[in-house]
């Protein structure tokens, strides 16, 4: 007589799952009700919502209860439940933070319309893409050019300019990592962003033929965006310059054999010829620029928030943070990590969150992250122009 266990049918297994799910949902709702009681107790005694020691102990207990086979899955589940529970407690307590007050003040004090005229700092020289971005952001910008990206941040710090315009990422070549690194050591706020269509041209001195070119100069991002085109020019060297327009300015006096990758307006500015247009590898090539200021300004329609923070260098830390964001139904549109100088294997994480500034859930999330993160910076809430 066979003792082999009969495998249930799919319908039987699904019926069992439905029954278990009904019980789980009921128990989850009961747990959240008790969580609300805990929130009221914390309000009465003045304790914060986050209790890191209690969370660690609970997750260790869950691991023991689940056993070796299901330990990892159970910890993931309960880390999510804890994140949802904390969000619910904040909602029940209607807790506010210093950051929430700062944001509320910025919303109240910011004018209804983005300025048409302002003193604006850009990196590079005449013809730079940053200038094009500034001219789209402001109707009549008074632009001052600076040699480096860091000089732009410094100009805002010193009050030389009201705003700075900086490239932060490209749809083909990715993030401008230097900007992310500079953002960690300068105090500023993003007040607007812009996605600019970028079409690169090959520029050279009048009379130069494509076959005469021995060296192409441009910003590293532009070289990356045109890597396929350059690869089809055997023997041609690619050299990085601080700025595309600066590269065009160099080619003007460099002599034979040089060409620059820059925008078309640089041909007129520096007396060069356009040998070929739209040479980027991807025709749908956009660069995202941010507009920064020394103080927070939050204009009507702002629906994108940028923050930077550190998280513990432990398994599951990032997953739990993402669960917090998901629990509040906030859309995460970008996550970027950068190493912290001088700290091995420690990283800063940059987040772009999509949610209207009026959303109570966004303010709760920011307040919770500010209180629970070792290092946290709010970089601004703004609107992104297309």
Statement: residue 239 has pLDDT above 90:
yes
84-106 average pLDDT score: 81
87-98 average pLDDT score: 74
137-158 average pLDDT score: 95
Long-range contacts of 171-175 (CB under 8 A, 24+ apart): 171/282, 171/284, 171/285, 171/286, 171/287, 172/224, 172/225, 172/280, 172/281, 172/282, 172/285, 173/221, 173/224, 173/225, 175/336
pLDDT, residue 3, reads: 63
Predicted TM-score (pTM) of the model is 0.80
What's the first-to-final CA gap in the chain, in angstroms?
73
Q: Is 289 one of the annotated active-site residues of the chain?
A: yes
Q: Cβ-count burial of 111 within 10 angstroms (0-12 exposed, 13-18 middle, 19+ buried)?
A: exposed
pLDDT, residue 344, reads: 66
Report the chain's mean pLDDT, rounded to a whole number.
90
Packing angle of the helix pair 71-93, 52-66 (nearest 10 deg) = 150
pLDDT, residue 95, reads: 63
pLDDT, residue 2, reads: 55
191-204 average pLDDT score: 94
341-347 average pLDDT score: 70
214-226 average pLDDT score: 94
Statement: residue 150 has pLDDT above 80:
yes
Statement: residue 348 has pLDDT above 90:
no
Statement: residue 1 has pLDDT above 70:
no
Among 95, 208, 287, 381, which one carries the catalytic annotation? 287
pLDDT, residue 318, reads: 82
161-188 average pLDDT score: 88
pLDDT, residue 181, reads: 86
pLDDT, residue 161, reads: 96
359-383 average pLDDT score: 87
What the block records as the tokens of 46 is 């003045």
Statement: residue 7 has pLDDT above 90:
no
Highest mean pLDDT among 63-67, 308-312, 365-369: 63-67
Percentage of residues of the chain with pLDDT beyond 70? 97
166-175 average pLDDT score: 87
Statement: residue 87 has pLDDT above 70:
yes
210-215 average pLDDT score: 93
Q: Is 381 one of the annotated active-site residues of the chain?
A: no
More confident residue, 279 or 343: 279
> Quick one: residue 305, left, alpha or beta (phi over 0 = left, psi -120 to 50 = alpha)?
beta
Statement: residue 69 has pLDDT above 80:
yes
Domains of the chain, earliest start first: 12-93 (1.20.59.10), 98-197+286-385 (3.40.190.10), 201-276 (3.40.190.10)
pLDDT, residue 317, reads: 77
pLDDT, residue 96, reads: 62
Statement: residue 136 has pLDDT above 90:
yes
pLDDT, residue 342, reads: 66
Among 95, 289, 351, 381, which one carries the catalytic annotation? 289
């Amino acid at each position: 007589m066979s003792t082999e266990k009969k495998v249930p049918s799919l319908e039987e297994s699904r019926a069992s799952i439905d029954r278990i799910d009904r019980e789980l949902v009921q128990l989850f709702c009961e747990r959240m009700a008790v969580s609300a009681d805990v929130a009221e107790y914390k309000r009465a005694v003045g304790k914060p919502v986050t209790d890191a020691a209690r969370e660690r102990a609970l997750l260790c207990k869950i691991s023991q209860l689940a056993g070796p086979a299901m330990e990892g899955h159970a910890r993931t589940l309960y880390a999510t439940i804890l994140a949802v529970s904390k969000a619910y407690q904040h909602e029940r307590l209607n807790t506010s933070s210093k950051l929430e007050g700062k944001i509320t003040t910025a919303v109240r004090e910011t004018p209804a319309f983005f300025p048409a005229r302002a003193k604006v700092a850009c990196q590079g020289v005449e013809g730079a893409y940053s200038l094009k971005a500034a001219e789209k952001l402001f109707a009549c910008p008074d632009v001052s050019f600076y040699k480096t990206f860091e000089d732009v941040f410094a100009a805002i710090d010193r009050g030389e300019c009201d705003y700075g315009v900086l490239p932060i990422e490209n749809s083909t070549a990715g993030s401008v990592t230097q900007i992310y690194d500079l953002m960690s050591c300068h105090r500023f706020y993003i007040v607007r962003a812009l996605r600019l269509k970028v079409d690169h041209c090959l520029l050279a001195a009048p009379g130069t033929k494509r076959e005469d070119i021995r060296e192409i100069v441009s910003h590293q991002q532009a070289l990356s965006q045109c890597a396929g085109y350059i690869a089809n020019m055997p023997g041609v060297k690619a050299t990085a310059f601080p700025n595309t327009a600066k590269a065009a300015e160099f080619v003007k006096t460099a002599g034979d054999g040089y060409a620059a990758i820059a925008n078309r307006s640089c041909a007129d500015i520096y007396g060069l010829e356009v040998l070929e247009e739209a040479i980027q590898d991807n025709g749908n090539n956009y660069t995202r620029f941010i507009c920064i200021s020394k103080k927070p300004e939050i204009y009507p329609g702002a629906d994108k928030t940028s923050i930077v923070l550190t998280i513990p260098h432990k398994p599951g830390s990032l997953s739990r943070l993402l669960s917090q964001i998901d629990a509040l139904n906030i859309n995460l549109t970008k996550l970027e990590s950068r190493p912290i100088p001088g700290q091995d294997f420690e990283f800063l994480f940059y987040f772009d969150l999509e949610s209207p500034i009026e959303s109570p859930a966004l303010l709760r999330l920011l307040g919770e992250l500010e209180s629970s993160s070792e290092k946290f910076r709010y970089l601004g809430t703004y609107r992104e122009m297309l």
